[in-house]
Amino acid sequence: MKKMLVAMLLAAVLGGCATTGKLTSAERLDLYRAHAGEPVKNFRYFGSLNGWTELGDSALAVWTKPNEAWLLNLSGPCMDLSFAPAISITNMMGQVSARFDRVIVHGGGPMARVPCRIDSIQPLDVKSLRASEKELREAKISERAADQGTDTE
């Protein structure tokens, strides 16, 4: 079932990115959701992220280790998340909890930012996600090569 969902997602994403070659935030969010597990109440976090990816204005993925990532769905739009140079996450006692902790967007001007509440947390299957991203990249390269081949005829 999951393979079928990923295959359908790949087909939809390739159709959407054929003109620009780049995934939109919504397409990336769909890809990440396809590789997310069941919601959990919290995850361990000791103040240092290994990386993060914005997935529109209401979701992001955060890496706590190179092979450990979490999909954070926010309770509403988070101002300037798509343009943020940095984020931080509130937490108590080394864990981030859904419905309690918040994402804080840094940068982008002198205005104070309103923290964005984390509505739900889902673990990401990082290995599977990376494999799907690699498939997408390879498919886009093949599609571009095919398009260039038809343009020169």
110 φ, ψ to 5°? Answer: -80, -10
What's the average model confidence in pLDDT over 9-27? 59
CA distance 44 to 72: 14
**The pLDDT of residue 19:** 45
Do 50 and 110 belong together in one domain? yes
43 vs 145: CA distance, rounded Å = 42
Confidence of residue 5 (pLDDT cuts 50, 70, 90): very low
Residue 3 has pLDDT above 80, yes or no: no
Q: Domain of 12?
A: 1-35+125-153
pLDDT recorded at residue 40: 98
Nearest to 121 by CA among 56, 46, 32: 32
Residue 70's pLDDT band, with cuts at 50, 70 and 90, is: very high
CA angle 21-26-29, nearest 5°?
Answer: 105
| Same-domain pairing of 45 and 112 | yes
Co-location of 108 and 136 in the same domain: no
CB atoms within 10 A of CB 14: 17
Region 4-18: mean pLDDT is 46
Are 118 and 56 in a shared domain? yes
Q: What is the mean pLDDT of the chain?
A: 84
Among candidate residues 64, 48, 57, 66, the one with its CA nearest the CA of residue 105: 57
Looking at the fold, whether 83 and 144 belong to one and the same domain comes out as no
Chain segment 103-133, per-residue pLDDT in tens: 999 886 666 678 999 999 999 999 999 999 8
Determine the Cα–Cα distance for residues 19 and 143; give it in Å rounded to an integer: 10
Both 16 and 91 in a single domain? Answer: no
pLDDT in tens, 23-48: 888 999 999 999 999 999 999 988 78
Beta strands in the chain (DSSP E): 42-44, 51-54, 59-65, 68-74, 86-89, 95-97, 102-106, 116-124
Q: 114 and 52: one domain?
A: yes
pLDDT value at residue 7: 47
